Structure 1
């Protein structure tokens, strides 16, 4: 008989941060930079621990340059929750799709501008890089059209601003302190759909 795990599994949408007393007067007081030394390579990284996912359309050198300058998630709140739950790095794919720094052309369809977005396990990527899907495997990703979003700077500013706001809510002056100062509250609904 198969084993069924019945423990409750929580997702980003299932929790909110519980605010705490904070001595921070401004979001500008929050330091988002971290330093890591990797165990096997002994190399160090110093910066904001957000990286572009290895996807053909977002994992570009142009995107890496923008991220190094400034700095699974779908909004800035998800990024903050991941760090609050103890993540060392956060990978972004879909949040960065559709920007100027992403590979691919801007296509106009039905009067709106879009870009193609696909992961490296998608049918599109496998056809482009290895001539197709091997007969022993299946395509695990999708190819979707995402709205063209211009320069990525505004999106990065939203993500980092949300992260700084979260740190001020719980009194974390440094990103490294966020997980120690985080208490999550379980919720059933955290978004108002009144104006959507």
Structure 2
């Protein structure tokens, strides 16, 4: 599992001053995993824990070499999540809290002794409600398959082996839909 502080509800970096950028951490661990696999013949699957906000971040994590990922925020948004659906300022949200939050202290994962946490490593908040898990997972899978197809890959392994990762400038982001008034949003920016 790779990642400290990159999760959507994690504040470990702010509280402890540890952790690093998720992409840098993932790339470093994948490189060493691949060296280890070449030397020993043993492949160690890597979990990307953090840094996944939108569907395309999943594709990037797979391209970087992750085998699977933690998707707490992703799954917390759906009907099937056990948290309550609440209405805030006319919009629907699902409750969502981190393991290191005061709310989750009963599980004692971050037990610091005493009756309550001395400090928190996770926040307690809300994520935008997204409806049905079934429909949204199907959409996410369609996007991932389309990404692999656009990159000439039929497997995650070939996607990782052949992916060329480049850093985009701020101007690149501005070159998306521009100087066009959209009739409706083509996607949910919260995904």
Match of 2:62? 83
Deviations 1:25-46 (A, max 9, x none): xxxxxxxxxxxxx989xxxxxx
Aligned counterparts, 1:40-119, within 5 A: 72-119=51-98
TM-score normalised according to structure 1 size: 0.56
Q: Is the 8 A contact 1:98 1:148 kept in 2?
A: yes
Per-residue CA shift, 1:145-181, capped at 9, x if unaligned?
2222221123212321221111112111122211111
Whether the 8 Å contact between 2:47 and 2:68 is mirrored in structure 1 is: yes
**Alignment TM-score, normalising by the size of structure 2:** 0.58
More helix by share: 2
Residue 138 (structure 1) shift:
2.2
Residues 86/39 of structure 1: CA separation in 2 closer, same or farther (3 Å cut) = closer
5+ long unaligned stretches in structure 2: 1-20, 25-41, 183-188
Give the Cα separation in 1 of the matches to 2:133 and 2:47: 14
How well do the aligned residues superpose, as a CA RMSD in angstroms?
Answer: 3.5
- Kindly tell me the number of residue pairs found equivalent between the two proteins: 135
The structure 1 residue matched to 2:130, chosen from 122, 137, 149, is: 149
The answer to whether residue 173 in structure 2 is matched with residue 191 in structure 1 is yes
SS of equivalent residue, structure 2 residue 70? strand
Whether the aligned pair in 2 keeps the contact of 1:105 and 1:115 (CA below 8 Å) is: yes
Which of 1 and 2 has higher RCO (CA within 8 Å, sep 6+)?
1
Change (3 A) 1:187 1:146: same
